[in-house]
Amino acid sequence: MQVGALWQGGKACLFRVFAPQAKRLRIRFPDLGRPERELRPQRELRPRPRGYWELACQDIQPGTNYLLSVGDGEFRPDPASRYQPFGVHGPSQVWDHGAFAWSDSAWTGIALEDAILYEIHAGTFTPAGTLDAIIPKLEHLAYLGINAIELMPVNQFPGERNWGYDGAYLFAVQNSYGGPEALKRLVDASHARGIAVVLDVVYNHLGPEGNYLAEFGPYFTDHYKTPWGRAVNLDGKQSDQVRDFFFENALYWLREFHIDGLRLDAIHQMYDTSATHFLAELEERVEGFSARHGRRRFLIAECDLNDPCVITGRDAGGFGMQAQWLDDFQHCVDALLRKETSGYRLDFGRPDQLAKAFREGFVYSGEYCASREKRFGASSALRPPKQFVAFMQNHDQVGNRPGGERFNAVVGPEAYKLAAGTLFLSPYVPLLFMGEEYAEARPFQFFGDYGDPQLSEAVRKGRREEFAHLHADEQVADPIAPGTFEDCKLDWTSLDREPHRTVLRFYRRLIGLRKGLPALSHLHRVGMEMDVSGSCIFLRRRSIGRDDVPAGEIAAIFNYGMEVARCALRTQEGKWELALDSADAEWGGPGSRAPRTARPEDHLEIAPHSFVLYRRTDEG
């Protein structure tokens, strides 16, 4: 059931609110110029079955501001507000979603397995920090080879700067980003350039400021705890309607904004003992929506459990998510290159673990995990690679460092290219974090903008305490200071300078190879072989299993060591041509040691912290 202010056309609007404990529900229409005055008389909503309240009006137009009051309580914004032009504490605004003139009727979407994802924080991606300002940068992304952008949450949060995970109004597009129309313009422009749009949504908690949901109904429960406080009520009394609220929100983004997929934040903090888990029901509803509208939308989960149930089909008892983030893959590469033993790096750092990540996905599939002090995970070897999104950086991996340092700031340039090659030669869906493609030098730190001074101080204190064990106080910027946010904005002038221009060319070459070589573009493990010898990892992939994909075979050697490696390709007979050597001077390296053509018995020299990619040329 749709909730909120549902404009019907003309001056007709239906207000529907879930407030099961309310004895009375009022609506007022404030005059923003004179707060004590109302533009229309207050009205009473009428109770309906299952805890809903409704009011049908015939004198409401888009742009009308309104507030709601439960019983004799204070007037609050609508929990399902479509727009909060005056922030999280101000009135909600009636919105006409039918007014936008879409031009993407010919858009058929892309298959998730074909995606090259690119994560964007709208506020720091451009100097203007708006959704409209992203549009001119789509040409850059298309040139790079990106065909799917993933937006960090854009629903209304307090103030004007935030990562987005403090959102308080799930249906309202952030006012400082440009509001609903700006998001539609971005999606429409992206589709025109062949770029899909994935939206990050947060259903495990709401932000602490402006969150009045508990005043309206049993949206939260004390039965479970999360790092952010009370958990969302997904399995307690009156949880059916709470679940519907979130289901409707998911469909709202797909229906009204033509979003191609949703990334679900931290699903391991969503607690549900129902026979049909919330996530399985969500996937069922999204699947039904896709069938009705003739285009598949997909769900990507973030999960910290290494549980293949997340991406196992509903018919086999799983949740049915199309994909999930693969943290283990990043952890393997990070630990190998940084040689640190703090946090998760205590559990990683061996080349054979990275080989297992290639072969199976989860590295921890029931083994003892030192940092967790218990056995952890289950095998994902039977799940197809297209169900995993791999990355070297994302907002968490960068922003959760004391100084928000990017990967290129903590490893050398050769190691940085090695990590990129490991990502794009993997059988998984790759994701880049904004600026990664040209080695952005500016950090991405945690930041926020709260109206409550006590909350601001609590955030400052929490950030300091998070890194106290690292003795990194001087690196932890004040998350509330406007300057911290400004320091995180991408420096697009970098593209006019070295080494950033060369790094960009290198990433473009990698993406071109990924798309152009069938052995890399076809995501499978059949025909993939891995070997490990010392610090070197040997990869072989063949294009098989699809009649419409031409034959192809590649071989790669990743040298994660600090010394030159001397080894053979370890392939079958054939002629092999060098497709890429990350150490080549063309890419700013010390110079290639690998021959342009090779045979399996030839011994090659692989520079430290580099990789070579060969493709077979004597097939067919």
Positions marked catalytic: 265, 302
How many CB atoms within 10 Å of residue 365? 18
**3-class SS at 363?**
coil
Backbone angles phi, psi at 40, to 5 degrees: -140, 160
What is d(CA 200, CA 328) in angstroms, rounded to the nearest whole number? 21
Residue 36, burial from CB neighbour count under 10 angstroms (0-12, 13-18, 19+)? exposed
Terminal Cα distance for the chain, rounded = 57
Q: Which of 199, 213, 211, 300 is nearest to 256 (CA)?
A: 199
Long-range contacts (CB closer than 8 Å, 24 or more residues apart) made by 35-41: 39/64
Is-cis flag, bond preceding 443, omega within 30? no
Give the type of residue at 168: A
Q: Partners of 55 in the beta sheet?
A: 15
Length of the chain: 620
How many CB atoms within 10 Å of residue 33? 7
Backbone angles phi, psi at 498, to 5 degrees: -90, 150
Residues 6+ apart with CB under 8 A from 374: 368
What is d(CA 468, CA 87) in angstroms, rounded to the nearest whole number? 33
What is d(CA 296, CA 285) in angstroms, rounded to the nearest whole number? 12
Give the largest Cα separation in the chain, rounded: 87
**3-class SS at 556?**
strand
Please give the DSSP secondary-structure letter assigned to residue 153.
P
What's the sign of the alpha-carbon dihedral 221, 225, 229, 231? Answer: negative
